[in-house]
A and B are shown apart, each in its own frame.
Chain A
Amino acid sequence: MSQPELFVLVAAVVFSIGVYGLLSRPQLVRRILALNLMGNGVFLLLVAFARRNPDTIDPVPQAMVLTGIVIAVSATGFALAIVRLLYRETGEAGLGENRAP
């Protein structure tokens, strides 16, 4: 298995683990973590795909992922602010029956 194929598979696993975490956990901070895992899986996929042709280094996916990393931290910061607001208003940071942080 070549290096790009290995990391493409890692990307698929990390993305799937993130999907599971996002769907199965009621605690909001854990969901944000899972969402970040999904994002990292997609980033890894984009760059690993670009490496399949060993002769060229494709700068376009790298630039897109760099943009994506900054967007991800922006979204994470905003999401965490909403979690803090929810916690201040209700004393809880989760959804459903299990509301521990």
Chain B
Amino acid sequence: MAELLGWVFDALLALALLLLAARVVFSPRLFESIVLFIVFGLLMAIAWARLAAPHLALAEAAIGAGITGALLLSTFRELVIGRTPSPEAPRVLVYRWHGLMALLAGGLFAVLGWALLSIDVPTGPVAGEQAMALLARTAVDDAVTAVLLDFRAYDTLLEMGVLLLAVLGARAALGSQGPASSDDLWTDGEGDTPMVGALVGMLSPLIIIMAGYLLWAGAYGPGGAFQAGAVLAALGVLLRLTGRIVPAPRAGVVQRGVLVIGMGVFTLAGLLTLATGRAFLQYPESLAYPMILLIEVALTLSIALPLVLLFSGSAGIAAGRSQHSP
């Protein structure tokens, strides 16, 4: 019975994912597309949970749906500002050859589906089994965290490089212009609406505790630097929306330090392991846990701030106006 229910649930989930993906592309209104993409991300989080990947469920809900959605919506807001006559025409704009594209995409699906389903399940040893076998020898109990920060730490180091490059690129593109409008997004400019102060006051400490828990839990279960960083970034988005922090034309020394501390600590750890005659990022066993923890704390900060800066669309952020309601 439970098996049947699970199958029905998976089938409904799959159907919903397909319909949402199609609506994201075919919806005539961009706003609708963006909102449906966020919903798609949330359903992806459920799909990850169904596929026994709770790390991905957490990351998808926080990053894939949450932060990406916030970035898309803030861009949409800038694109429709100042467009008085019907901000978006409710029609689908397509290239002339879109029918051919649709045929080709259909053919692509047919080939992909046939090819993917005809690949046999591997029988020999796979990387995952080796990772599980080596797990006992690492400092953390969680397999995904062990892969991210120990077995394949080099990938994670370069990933931080990509995030840093993205922020530097966005900063170069948007420069010191700052966003088109720096007004508070949730308030009327005079002060908070009645609920905002209470909401921010209650949510902020909870979000910080949540981020700290996720960071700590990464050592033995679902969680880790990425999820914690994304949750902290969500706090930044909330504070930006309520005017607690505002865009600044340049980042101060502290913010620049936070931007690079993840790369910095990670690289330093790698160089230290090299200097002591080990492989790059092969931690000495006695120090492995503190080193991984230190790197994760640094990564959390260096993931959160770039995401907030990307949302803010400015080179830096600064403390906003006084938080007292009039």
Could you list which residues of chain A lie within 8 angstroms of chain B, going by C-beta atoms?
Answer: 3-21, 23-27, 29-30, 32-34, 36-37, 40, 43-45, 47-53, 56-67, 69-78, 80-85, 87-88, 93-94, 96, 98, 100-101
Contact = CB atoms under 8 A, between A and B. Distances in A.
Given A63-B147, A98-B93, 6 more contacts: A49-B119, A73-B71, A74-B167, A75-B166, A76-B72, A87-B79
B213 interface: no
A33 B65 CA distance: 12
A11 B112 CA distance: 9
B155 A67 contact: yes
Contact of B93 (A5, A20, A48, A94): A94
B234 to A, nearest CB: 12
10 contacts: A17-B25, A24-B97, A33-B25, A62-B147, A70-B159, A74-B166, A77-B311, A83-B75, A100-B93, A101-B30
Q: How large is the interface on B (under 10, 10 to 19, 20 to 34, 35 or more residues)?
A: 35 or more
A67 B156 contact: yes
B186 interface: no
B19 to A, nearest CB: 10
B126 interface: yes
Contacts of A49: 116, 119
A54 to B, nearest CB: 10
Contacts of A84: 75, 78-79, 173-174, 313
Contact of B102 (A24, A66, A100): A24
Interface of B: 6-7, 10-11, 14, 17-18, 21-22, 24-25, 30, 33-34, 37, 40-41, 44, 47-48, 50-53, 55-56, 59-60, 63-64, 67-68, 71-72, 75-76, 78-80, 83, 88-89, 93-95, 97-98, 101-102, 104-106, 108-109, 112-113, 116-117, 119, 121-122, 126-129, 131-132, 143-144, 146-148, 152, 155-156, 159, 162-163, 165-167, 169-170, 173-174, 177, 180, 226, 303, 306-307, 310-311, 313
Contacts of B104: 19-20, 23
Contacts of A8: 113, 116-117
